[in-house]
Structure formats: structure tokens, C-alpha cells
Structure 1
């Protein structure tokens, strides 16, 4: 019953932003709703398990629509494929410099002084990325 309720919520999210509910869109959005930060290949593989066939190009197109409608958010990782997550409250990210793992972080973003951006008009807020090594990479570095 819980899965049915979750599925209905995902269907409603698609409808709320004016997107037609299709099997592939529903599966991709459910993969994102399950949590985490996934690249296109991981999203495609997870959705493909339930659908049978799905191309990465189709997932790229769906993600573009999800980004445009505010259903999903994208995080660019230098030198690695971007990862996507379901859109939610504003938050920051931690990025592992070894494996590329991304985690959400709740942190207050500092405000610039008035003089720092005197002639600027800010539209997109600010983003802080905490860079370091994730627990798995730290354990691997330390060895047995």
C-alpha cells in the first residue's frame, strides 16, 4: 500500500507541473524520489530494471523537463558527470574529491558585504560546496 501511495504522489507531482504522465517519466521520477544523487547512467539503469528498455537520451530529455519545471535539481561535479536529485528545500553539498560522492549538507550560506557586490543584482542565491574525502574513501586510504 505504501508503494501505491508513493506512486500516486509522484503522478500528482508530474501533473502539478503540467507534464503528461508516462511510464518512463513516472519511473525516472520515482528513481529520483528514492533519494541520493545519481548520474544519468545510474538513473537509466535503475529505471530500466522496471521498464525493460530505456535509453540514456530519453532520460536526458526527461531530466531537462524536470529541471525546467523545478521537479529536479542538478549538481555539477568537476571532471565527473553531473548528478541529479529531486528538488527540495535549499541546501548545500559535500563532494568527495576521490570518488565523486555527493551528500546534502544543511549549512548557512554567508552573506556578502554590501560593498563586495555593489553593482550586482543577485538572482540565484549562493552555493557552498564542502570538498574532502567521504567516509568510504577515508577508510580505504587508512587501510585494514
Structure 2
């Protein structure tokens, strides 16, 4: 990655924090830039990646940052049954694929179902989510190979 691209990513992260009224700090910038890489990461993975650049950072500090990021809409959380939740930069609505063997998560562009017109009397439906479950290519290869 070029120096200009790194500077641009940093500037974008700074602007995102300012747009939602959060103070710009080194750890917050680092976590946002790591998430901007497009992976779905759990708290442990985020903490380890940030420690490589910052030196010290506690998991508790990362949890606290993520709570603020969730509250302000900067990131979204995807709960994986049997594995720790993962986080990603809030972006256009999309669905997910979940590997039932290793917990890997990938974004999927697909049509989200429409809000039901019957069957939920008195409900106010805010949205829906589709999760495609199966095995990722790596897990399939290890089973078949």
C-alpha cells in the first residue's frame, strides 16, 4: 500500500470519528483502520492486531471502543452461535455467510426478504437478516483432502 493510500485511510478514519462526535485517539484510529481492511474480526483478533502497532492495549479497552462504535453506528456486530461475535465497519446493508465448521464470516450480496404482511400482529419490524450457513472452501478442502 502506498504512503498516500495509508494517509487517505487514516484521514477517512479520523473523519468517521469526528462525524459521530467521538474524540480522535490513536487506539480508536487503529481499530477503525484494522476493521476498514474488510475482515470480520472478534475482540481478541482486533486486540492482537492493534497491539502489533500500538504496543499495549487491553481487550477491555477494545470492548469499550466497540461499544462506542456500535452506539454511534460506526460498526456492526455479527453474532456467531458457538463463536465470539465479530465486528465490521458499518456499510451498505448486506447479508452474511457463516462457516459452521470454523466460524468464518463473509459478506454476501443478496436480496433481503421483504417485511411480512401477515403473521406478526402488533409487531413493528425494523429489518431482517439472512445468514447462509455451510462450509467455507478451506474447511471443505480439509475434509475432502
**TM-score, normalised via structure 2 length:** 0.95
State how far apart, in whole Å, the 2-side matches of 1:65 and 1:115 are: 36
Residue 122 of structure 2 corresponds to which residue in structure 1? Answer: 119
Work out whether 1:142 is the aligned partner of 2:127: no
Alpha-carbon distance, 1:60 to partner: 0.2
Residue 133 of structure 2 corresponds to which residue in structure 1? Answer: 131
Q: Which runs of 5+ in 1 are unaligned?
A: none
RMSD (CA atoms): 0.9
Residue 53 of structure 1 corresponds to which residue in structure 2? Answer: 56
Structure 2 contact 115–125 (Cα < 8 Å) conserved: no
Alpha-carbon distance, 1:118 to partner: 3.2
Aligned to 1:81, the other structure's residue is in SS state coil
Structure 2 contact 17–24 (Cα < 8 Å) conserved: yes
**Offset from partner CA, 1:37-80 (integer Å, 9 cap, x none):** 00000000111111000000000000000000000000000011
Work out whether 1:91 is the aligned partner of 2:90: no
Residue 25 of structure 1 corresponds to which residue in structure 2? Answer: 28
State how far apart, in whole Å, the 1-side matches of 2:87 and 2:23 are: 21
Alpha-carbon distance, 1:2 to partner: 1.4
Aligned CA distance change for structure 1 residues 29 and 112 (closer, same or farther; 3 Å): closer
**TM-score, normalised via structure 1 length:** 0.95
Q: Which runs of 5+ in 2 are unaligned?
A: none
Alpha-carbon distance, 1:141 to partner: 0.6
Alpha-carbon distance, 1:112 to partner: 4.7
